[in-house]
Amino acid sequence: QKEVEQNSGPLSVPEGAIASLNCTYSDRGSQSFFWYRQYSGKSPELIMFIYSNGDKEDGRFTAQLNKASQYVSLLIRDSQPSDSATYLCAVGGNEKLTFGTGTRLTIIP
């Protein structure tokens, strides 16, 4: 079992709709969770982080964490073509981030 798992996609969402990205992790003791966006040919960019159970909102982005289910999600509201990218879920430890393989998201105009 991989430490961090994501559906690789591709996920296609119409412009203006909600994109929902999911991630599960295996280490029940994990405390910090991150979502990175990576455009093709570019480096990962942190867009959201969450430490506590529940929802955390920042603009059009909402991160959701359920530690009992070992599940993290990212919702993107009012999806825009500029949101088309690969989204990486990561779990933070003291010395490393453990990444999922990423979900490729395409927003269809």
Partner 1 sequence: KAGVTQTPRYLIKTRGQQVTLSCSPISGHRSVSWYQQTPGQGLQFLFEYFSETQRNKGNFPGRFSGRQFSNSRSEMNVSTLELGDSALYLCASRFGGGWTEAFFGQGTRLTVV
Q: Which of 20, 22, 98, 106: binder of partner 1 (CB under 8 A)? A: 98
CB 105 within 8 A of CB 8: no
| 71 touching partner 1, by CB under 8 A | no
Q: Which of 109, 68, 65 shows the shortest CA–CA distance to 91?
A: 65
| 101 touching partner 1, by CB under 8 A | yes
Q: Which is nearer to partner 1, 15 or 42 (CB)?
A: 42
- Considering only residues 73 through 92, tell me which ones interact with partner 1, judged by CB under 8 A: 88, 90, 92
Q: Which of 36, 23, 20, 25 shows the shortest CA–CA distance to 3?
A: 25
C-alpha torsion angle, residues 74, 78, 79, 83 (rounded to 10) = -70
CA distance 98 to 109: 33
Size of interface with partner 1, in residues (CB under 8 A):
20
User: Site map for partner 1, 5-44, x if CB under 8 A?
Assistant: ---------------------------x-x-------xxx
Binding site for partner 1 (CB under 8 A): 32, 34, 42-46, 49, 88, 90, 92, 94-102
